[in-house]
Amino acid sequence: LTSVPRFRDKARAKDVGGVLQECDAFRDDALPPLGIRLEDKTGGKSVWKLADPAELMKEREQKKLEEERREQEKKAAAEEKARKDALNKLSPEEFMAQLTLDDASGTKKYSKFDGATGMPTH
């Protein structure tokens, strides 16, 4: 059983063509149902421990849910950034013309604009 962490450590040192991804998949997908926890330690070393397979599978599911939550947060942040970037590209006159009241009615905040400057008058 110690040969698996030893192999993983050697593969890490070489990192040839996706070997690390395969090692991580082996650690995350193949070992938990067998009740084996493979932990990465500082200095590039790994240690294996026996554990309850049900507990390891539960931890794996929680990790996947956390990753999904982070992806959703990243997506929401990217959408918000895109929305803000679009607003920043508007000229001041266009920005003022598209403003609405905060009451969710969709009513425009300003109804009349100065013809020369484009700034709101009402």
pTM of the shown model: 0.56
The structure tokens listed for 40 are 């990465």
Q: How far apart are CA 35 and CA 30, in angstroms?
A: 10
pLDDT, tens digit, for every residue of 47-96? 888 999 999 999 999 999 999 999 999 999 999 999 999 888 988 778 77
Are 32 and 60 contacting, i.e. CB atoms less than 8 angstroms apart? Answer: yes
Region label for 38, one of left (φ > 0), alpha (ψ between -120 and 50) or beta (otherwise) = beta
pLDDT, tens digit, for every residue of 24-51? 888 888 889 889 998 888 887 888 889 9
| H-type alpha helices, the chain | 3-14, 19-25, 53-89, 92-98
